[in-house]
């Protein structure tokens, strides 16, 4: 009888074994086919999920019971009860670390309960003593107090709550004059934990889940913290392209040995962001807006730069980070990675064309880029006999035609024929790939 727990462990190790050359990708796939699904891994994940859910429900129930009689308590009693949830949660966390150190469900449940209890305690104490402050102050205090939990209890839930908390803090500070460096300092405090978790095997559940959350939340956090820099023309286009390109290039460079898209969070989300941004930039109105906004003189730029130099230093950092990763892809002669990650170059060329009153040329340039990206992905999929990559290329081409569907300068007949041709292409290519695969199988 197969030991499902050991099979689940083996599947976690496979990407690392492929990356260091111990196994080939084909050998890893054969191992998966040989042993099938790791049922024990699914059971462990279910136990962890129910453990976290139970901790959250218990914590919520305690808070509701206190809230029911809250007005009848004296201020001293309220203060004592405000500290009861985190004290109880710390006791549970200590028990989990001491008596159940190998139990993922206990660690995750205790970490989630303690993190939420700290937030509840802060809110109750602030309400009892009428402590001033806004949502941003509450989120910042809660996140900083919860940060040690991430390092003490090796659990993913406290790390995710911290990441969500600092991102929400950045959103709460959107309209204020908060220092742009604040969000990145808070983000830097959690990165050592992530790097430590990913050091031996970046494809384990904890670093992978955190990577998905990081890639999803980072664009919003950067946008909120660099609000002042976005007021200048073209900066948001260059920065968004650099972030998307850097995420994709970093994911391809350091997490490229994943056996599925779920094991490639930065690469998957970065590539998706590149395609979406390229589609947004494929409209002429996007560039015409930039051209209308270019009415400021050099003094306006100097004023914006002097008002918040840190914000522009962070913008420069992202551009340099993207450039370093892009040059690295050139060094490895990974032409597919190089071309997909080259979006900021095309954006910069488009801004130059727009600056000289050629927004139509900028629009055509980005259309050529996204179209070439779709065709290149399609041809690469055909060459590798990869149905997923073939469909990805077809979807990119379909997206190009779909956004042109809303272009009033193109007639209904031309748009209709393009959709029919693309749909027929989808069917023909997929049928050909399926038949070729069937013929290749013994």
User: What letter would DSSP give residue 332?
Assistant: T
pLDDT score at 41: 47
Other beta carbons within 10 angstroms of residue 56's beta carbon come to 15
Q: Is residue 161 part of a domain?
A: no
Query: 182 burial class (0-12, 13-18, 19+ CB within 10 angstroms)?
Result: middle
In terms of Cβ atoms closer than 10 Å to its own Cβ (0-12, 13-18, 19+), residue 59 is: buried
> In angstroms, what CA-CA distances link 110 with 54, 106, 123, 162, 281?
10, 6, 20, 15, 46
Q: Is residue 386 part of a domain?
A: yes
Q: Which of 154, 317, 151, 329 is nearest to 222 (CA)?
A: 317
Average pLDDT over residues 290-311: 61
Give 71's DSSP letter.
Answer: G
- Answer for the pair 385, 441: CB distance below 8 angstroms, yes or no: no
As a whole number of angstroms, the longest Cα–Cα distance in the chain is 79
Question: Structural domain tally of the chain?
Answer: 2
Q: What is the mean pLDDT of residues 259-283?
A: 88
Give the orientation angle of helix 39-68 with respect to helix 4-19, to 10 degrees. 100
pLDDT digits over 58-67, tens only?
A: 666 666 666 6
Q: Is 73 helix (H, G, I), strand (E, B) or coil?
A: coil
Q: Is residue 384 situated within a structural domain?
A: yes
Q: Decide if 94 is inside a domain.
A: no
Neighbours of 285 (CB within 10 A): 9
Does residue 422 fall inside a structural domain?
yes
**What is the extent of the structural domain holding 316?**
226-442
pLDDT at 1: 36
The alpha carbon of 12 is separated from its chain's Cα centroid by a whole number of angstroms, namely 21
Mean pLDDT of the chain: 77
Establish if 154 belongs to a structural domain.
Answer: no
Whole-angstrom distance, CA of residue 304 vs CA of residue 292 = 19
Cα dihedral 273, 393, 321, 296 sign: negative
Residues comprising the chain, all counted: 442
Residue 287 lies in a domain: yes
Higher pLDDT, 393 or 330: 330
Q: Which two tokens stand for residue 15?
A: 């990407």
Does the pLDDT at position 162 exceed 80? yes
| 9-to-42, 217, 261 alpha-carbon distances in Å | 12, 29, 19
Inside any domain, residue 407: yes
Report the C-alpha dihedral over residues 27, 31, 36, 42, rounded to 10 degrees: -100
- Hey, which of 43-47, 55-59, 386-390, 410-414 has the most confident mean pLDDT? 386-390
State the pLDDT at residue 6.
62
Q: What is the pLDDT of residue 149?
A: 92
Per residue in 149-161, pLDDT (tens digit) is 999 887 888 999 9
- What pLDDT is recorded for position 290? 67
- Which position has the token pair 């709460």? 172
- Kindly report, residue by residue over 349-406, the tens digit of the pLDDT: 998 888 888 888 888 898 889 888 888 887 777 777 776 777 788 788 778 777 766 6
Tell me the pLDDT band of 324, cut-offs 50, 70 and 90: very high
Check residue 258 and give left, alpha or beta (phi > 0: left; psi -120 to 50: alpha). Answer: beta
Grade residue 34 by pLDDT with cuts at 50, 70 and 90: low
The pTM assigned to this predicted structure is 0.77
């Amino acid at each position: 009888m197969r030991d499902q727990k050991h099979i689940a462990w083996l599947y976690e190790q496979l990407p690392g074994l492929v990356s260091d050359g111990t196994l080939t990708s084909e050998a890893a796939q054969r191992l998966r086919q040989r042993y099938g699904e790791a049922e024990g891994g699914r059971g462990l994940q279910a136990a962890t999920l129910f453990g976290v859910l139970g901790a959250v429900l218990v914590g919520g129930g305690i808070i509701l019971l206190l809230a029911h009689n809250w007005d009848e308590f004296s201020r001293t009693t309220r203060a004592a009860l405000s500290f009861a949830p985190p004290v109880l949660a710390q006791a549970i966390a200590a028990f989990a670390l001491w008596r159940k150190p190998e139990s993922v469900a206990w660690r995750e449940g205790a970490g989630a309960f303690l993190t939420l209890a700290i937030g509840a305690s802060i809110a109750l104490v602030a309400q009892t003593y009428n402590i001033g402050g806004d949502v941003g102050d509450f989120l910042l205090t809660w996140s900083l107090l919860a940060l040690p939990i991430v390092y003490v209890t090796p659990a993913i839930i406290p790390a995710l709550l911290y990441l969500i908390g600092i991102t929400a803090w950045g959103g709460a500070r959107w309209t204020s004059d908060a220092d742009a460096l604040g969000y990145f300092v808070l983000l830097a405090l959690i990165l050592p934990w992530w790097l430590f978790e990913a050091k031996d095997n970046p494809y384990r559940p904890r670093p992978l889940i955190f990577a998905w959350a990081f890639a999803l939340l980072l664009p919003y956090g950067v946008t909120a913290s660099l609000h002042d820099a976005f007021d200048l023309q073209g900066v948001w286009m260059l920065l968004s392209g650099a972030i998307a390109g850097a995420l994709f290039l970093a994911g391809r460079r350091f997490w490229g040995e994943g056996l599925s898209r779920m094991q490639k969070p930065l690469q998957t989300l970065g590539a998706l962001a590149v395609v979406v941004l390229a589609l947004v930039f494929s409209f002429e109105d996007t560039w015409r807006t930039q051209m209308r906004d270019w009415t400021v003189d050099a003094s306006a730029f100097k004023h914006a730069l002097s008002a918040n130099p840190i914000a522009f230093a962070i913008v420069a950092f992202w551009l340099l980070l993207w450039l370093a990763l892009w040059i690295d892809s050139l060094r490895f002669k990974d032409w597919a990675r190089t071309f997909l990650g080259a979006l900021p170059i095309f954006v910069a060329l488009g801004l130059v064309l727009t600056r000289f009153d050629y927004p139509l040329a900028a629009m055509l340039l980005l259309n050529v880029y996204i179209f070439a990206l779709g065709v290149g992905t399609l041809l690469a999929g055909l060459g590798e006999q990869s149905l997923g990559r073939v469909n990805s290329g077809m979807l990119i081409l379909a997206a190009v035609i779909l956004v042109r569907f809303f272009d009033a300068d193109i007639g209904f007949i031309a748009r209709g024929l393009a959709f029919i041709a693309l749909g027929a292409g989808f069917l023909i290519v997929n049928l050909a790939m399926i038949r070729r695969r069937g013929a290749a199988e013994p």
